[in-house]
Chains A and B, each alone.
Chain A
């Protein structure tokens, strides 16, 4: 079945970097756009970034623009999120989510189980 498994979360100091990975199985990653969505503890959902099926287009939420980079390696069925200059307010569970189409429609289905990033001194 379709499965997404995130990894790479942890505790990091403000200003440092972290790289998240999302391993896809049960489908061919190159067939779908992909997203990162985050959820601060006890809070709602915030879209973070999207990448087209072939990596040709990438877009970011204003809150992370210039600091985060989304990328993908379709040959390894893996999605990435490079997070630089981390801030306390970036603390959240980060989910990867598959889009329903190669050129993103903006519907997220399914989601991974998430990985927790804690930014704290």
Chain B
């Protein structure tokens, strides 16, 4: 099983700041990585797939990068609605998720 490790567990930032979230895979997943956003009481929402492709309707402030084992989700300028949990997920070998990063307001 491919294990995804996200860091940091909690990220405290202010609106308008830049957020950088990391996801590291226990073995190469090529570019088969996605990012999801989940707000309390809601279902996850696909943000990024294939490491760097934005899903339909996702604002341009969200961007993804990386390949192999190291990936990054960047939110260029945080909006109030961006504070949530973020999960990475791989599809290289079945499907596994990272444990999540909580992005909270500082």
Contacts and interface: CB of A to CB of B under 8 A. Distances in A.
A110 B97 contact: no
A44 B89 CA distance: 11
B69 interface: no
A50 B98 CA distance: 19
Contacts of B91: 105-107
A114 B98 contact: no
Interface in B5-64: 32, 34, 36, 42-46, 49-50, 55-56
A59 B56 CA distance: 27
B99 interface: yes
Main SS at interface, chain A: strand
A109 B55 CA distance: 9
A45 B43 contact: no
B99 to A, nearest CB: 5
Contacts of A114: 43
Interface residues of B, number: 22
Contact of B44 (A45, A50, A105): A45
Contacts of A108: 34, 36, 44, 46, 89
Interface residues of A, number: 20
Interface string A102-118: 00011111111110000
A65 B30 CA distance: 27
Q: Which are the 7 A-B pairs with shortest beta-carbon distances?
A: A106-B91, A111-B43, A109-B46, A47-B95, A45-B97, A107-B49, A44-B99
9 contacts: A44-B87, A47-B97, A95-B43, A105-B49, A106-B32, A107-B46, A107-B49, A108-B44, A109-B55
